[in-house]
Amino acid sequence: MIFLTRRATFSASHYYWNEAWSAEKNEQVFGRCANRNGHGHNYTLEVTVAGEPDPVTGFVVDLKWLKEVMEREVLARYDHRHLNLEVEEFAAGKMIPTTENIAIAAWRRLEPAVRAAGGAQLSRIRVYETPEIFAEYRGEA
């Protein structure tokens, strides 16, 4: 099994807020991240797929194809957007756009496309919020 990773970057704004809580509790739990005016990051998305190299092409997947899938499924929706206001899965308080949840949401967007292509399977999504902070999701329950 070979693990292949492609990296891409996107810039987006967000804030942390649980609609079920009081303003006071949100500020206590989330601190500066609860500022409703939002703040932003240069995120790095790392997508790892696993599989055996094709005997003819030697590819686990075509990296150009993977790049296009990442752009279509994730970057086109997240890049230069306010995640809380403009991205369906986070809008109206459905899911707080923490780094953990962004990794899970990116998995949900990418996994069907990778599976539909046949061959390789999605192995891991890693999202860097800053170079020092990241979250990853491996499809576990």
- Any bridge partners for residue 126, and if so which? 46, 136
Stretch that binds other proteins, among 2-10, 38-46, 74-82, 97-105 (CB under 8 A): 97-105
Q: Which one of the listed residues 33, 71, 86, 100 is annotated catalytic? A: 33
Q: Which helix (H) or strand (E) holds 18?
A: none
Our finding on whether 84 is near other proteins (CB under 8 A) is no
How far apart (Å, rounded) are the C-alpha atoms in residues 93 and 25? Answer: 16
The one among 45, 99, 114, 122 contacting other proteins by CB under 8 A = 99
Site for other proteins in 26-45 (CB under 8 A): 29-31
Q: Are 45 and 69 a contacting pair, CB within 8 Å?
A: no
Cα distance between the two ends of the chain: 23
- By beta-carbon proximity to other proteins, the closer residue of 86 and 129 is 129
Our finding on whether 138 is near other proteins (CB under 8 A) is yes
DSSP for 48-83, please give it.
EEEEPPPTTT--SS-HHHHHHHHIIIIIHHHTTEEH
Our finding on whether 18 is near other proteins (CB under 8 A) is yes
Number of residues that bind other proteins (CB under 8 A): 27
Binding site for other proteins (CB under 8 A): 16, 18, 20-21, 29-31, 95-101, 103-104, 126, 131-138, 140-141
